[in-house]
Amino acid sequence: MSSGFAHADFPGMAWHGTRKLAVEGLGFAERASFFDRFPARAREIVRPDVWHRSQYTAGVSVRFLTNASTVAARWRLRFEREILTHMASTGACGLDLYVRDGRDWFWIGLGVPRSTAETVCRIVDLKWESAAEPREYQLYLPIFNGVDVLEIGLPADATLAAGPPRAQSRLKPLCFYGTSIVHGACASRPGMTYPAILGRRFDRPVLNFGFSGHA
């Protein structure tokens, strides 16, 4: 799964694509771009502004297992970053990482966007040796932008696998439809939208069909 990507500030790290991990929040097949929330056929049906917002990754997340103590990320935004005077860029264009402890999820780190296009950053560095048992993580994607590229960086000797399958009783997603608040305005982090909070609380995948100003 390693992409071969390297960065001078992260020696000894291996970089992995995320599309073969447990990606949640994508309710349709035959999408024009992998992380789109609508299928390609919707482009001819919905208004242009709705189609544009459907390319934002609100509600999309990646679950994975790793024994790494350091987790980094590289992501490239789909659209040139807009300056939102009413919302933090960390929520609009950043990444948000949670770790599971037993049944509960806890916030552990934030990927802060540093560029109008691509960012490479360390999200968490726990300063301990790799654990014997992998931990489960959930990485939330930007609310008011999309991503073309998303890679996870781990120490070269760390393990990585998709998040475990959900219990049969929890496979059906929570589905939300609405305008700005459902979409995620104005959460400071992608994991702090209320659909994402409820997804963690009830331990279910989430489909977010909030489209700011256009429901």
Looking up tokens 């948000």, which residue turns up? 96
pLDDT at 126: 79
What is the CB neighbour count within 10 angstroms for residue 152?
29
CATH number corresponding to 13-210: 2.60.120.260
At 3, the pLDDT band (50, 70, 90 cuts) reads low
Q: Tens digits of per-residue pLDDT, 182-214?
A: 999 999 999 999 999 999 999 999 999 999 999
User: Please, which residues have CB within 8 angstroms of residue 55's CB and are 6 or more apart in sequence?
Assistant: 33, 35, 36, 37, 78, 79, 146
Q: Tens digits of per-residue pLDDT, 106-139?
A: 999 999 998 878 999 999 987 655 556 899 999 9
All structural domains of the chain with their residue ranges? 13-210
What's the chain's average pLDDT?
92
pLDDT at 116: 77
> Which tokens hold the place of 124?
């968490």
pLDDT at 34: 97
> Which tokens hold the place of 100?
């599971």
Helix, strand, coil share (%) of the chain residues, nearest 5: 15, 35, 50
Contact 121, 97 (CB under 8 A): no
Q: What percent of the chain clears pLDDT 90, i.e. is strictly above it?
A: 82
DSSP 8: T
Q: Tens digits of per-residue pLDDT, 42-99?
A: 999 999 999 999 999 999 999 999 999 899 999 999 998 766 778 999 999 999 999 9
Q: Tens digits of per-residue pLDDT, 149-159?
A: 999 999 999 99
pLDDT at 2: 52
